[in-house]
Amino acid sequence: MNLPDGWLSGKVALVTGASRGLGREIALALGRAGADVAVTDLLIESETLSKTDAEAHGLLTAHFSETASVRTLSTAEEIQKMGVRSIGIKLDVADPDGIRTAVSEVYERFGRIDILVNNAGVMDNMALMDKHTDRMWERDIGINLTGTYNCIKTVWPYMKKARWGRIINVSSFVGLSGAYAQPGYGAAKAGIIGLSRSMALEGARDKITVNAVLPGFIETEALMLHDPGMLDRIRSRIALKRLGKPGEVASVIVFLSSESAGYITGAAIPVTGGADLFVF
């Protein structure tokens, strides 16, 4: 989807989980569309996350915390070069106090918050039920679902005051199909769809739209950690026989952030290449 430059001029967006992968591409796409962007993530270049804290947020966080894939601040700098404003902020979606501090900073810097993209999440917990631990269940729900709730709750008063807002929650097609050996992840992503629809009902009176986007298998740094054989099997079960590009999800989110999507709310939109279809 080729969207016109400046489509979101004058709008301010906050994106969670934006240091790499899908979140980073969403932040860049919003900047290209003319929005000012707060790029937020648990990981930022100027801080070293302790091993204990990194592992508490999952194996992927622990892995990427020690790599050059952490690009929260550099993504903000890249967006600034597009001629719009941007800042990089450390934000843990499981920490309500930290979210309030970050959102206050964004509001003080930019004077408004029009768009919230809840992208932060974890997906590395794989265990059948008889080996699933309560701690990992609570982590999956706490970051993926409660983290989304925390961010919505914090920006909601700003959007109500402005009587305009766009909230896009990144769920997954497994929120509808289920996820083998990932009960916490599947439940959280299904919960995001229900949360989005409930908040769409509540937000309608204040012209706040709330939608969920359901990506399939997207070519991010995390997915590409799988061995080539597994990636081949994944491609074979997708109707289009390829992985999705982060930009193909980001363009949908930019559209949902715009005035042109003002009559879309409570939707759960798959961006899967047909991975959610029955494929022989």
pLDDT of 256 higher than 80: yes
Mean pLDDT for the stretch of residues 16-24? 95
Quote the percentage of the chain above a pLDDT of 70.
Answer: 89
- Residue 267 pLDDT > 70, yes or no? yes
Average pLDDT over the chain reads 91
pLDDT digits (tens, 9 = 90+) for 140-190: 999 999 999 999 999 999 999 999 999 999 999 999 999 899 999 999 999
pLDDT given for residue 47 in this prediction: 72
Parse the chain into domains and list their residue ranges: 12-271
* Per-residue confidence band for 220, with pLDDT thresholds at 50, 70 and 90: confident
pLDDT band at 278 (very low <50, low <70, confident <90, very high): confident
Q: In the predicted model, is pLDDT for residue 277 greater than 60? A: yes
Of 205, 256, 203, nearest in space to 11 by CA: 256
CA pair distance 98, 261, nearest whole angstrom: 31
pLDDT per residue over 40-87, tens digit each? 999 998 776 666 666 666 556 554 555 667 899 999 999 999 999 999
- Distance separating the N- and C-terminal Cα atoms of the chain: 28
* pLDDT over 70 (residue 250): yes
CA distance 84 to 115: 15
Lowest mean pLDDT among 43-57, 189-203, 236-250: 43-57
Residue 55: the pLDDT is: 60
Query: In this structure, what are the phi and psi dihedrals at residue 38, rounded to the nearest 5 degrees?
Result: -95, 115
185 is catalytic: yes
- 191 within 8 A of 216, measured Cβ to Cβ: no
Domain 12-271's class? alpha beta
Give yes or no for residue 126 having a pLDDT over 90.
no
pLDDT at 158: 98
> 47 or 98: which carries more pLDDT confidence?
98
Query: What is the structure's pLDDT at 265?
Result: 98
Kindly name the residue from 107, 158, 185, 263 that is annotated as catalytic: 185
Strand partners, 39: 15, 88
Is the predicted pLDDT of residue 280 greater than 60, yes or no?
no
8 falls in which pLDDT band (50, 70, 90)? very high
pLDDT on residue 68? 62
- CA 65 from centroid of its chain's CA atoms: 18
User: How many whole angstroms separate alpha carbon 205 and alpha carbon 164?
Assistant: 10
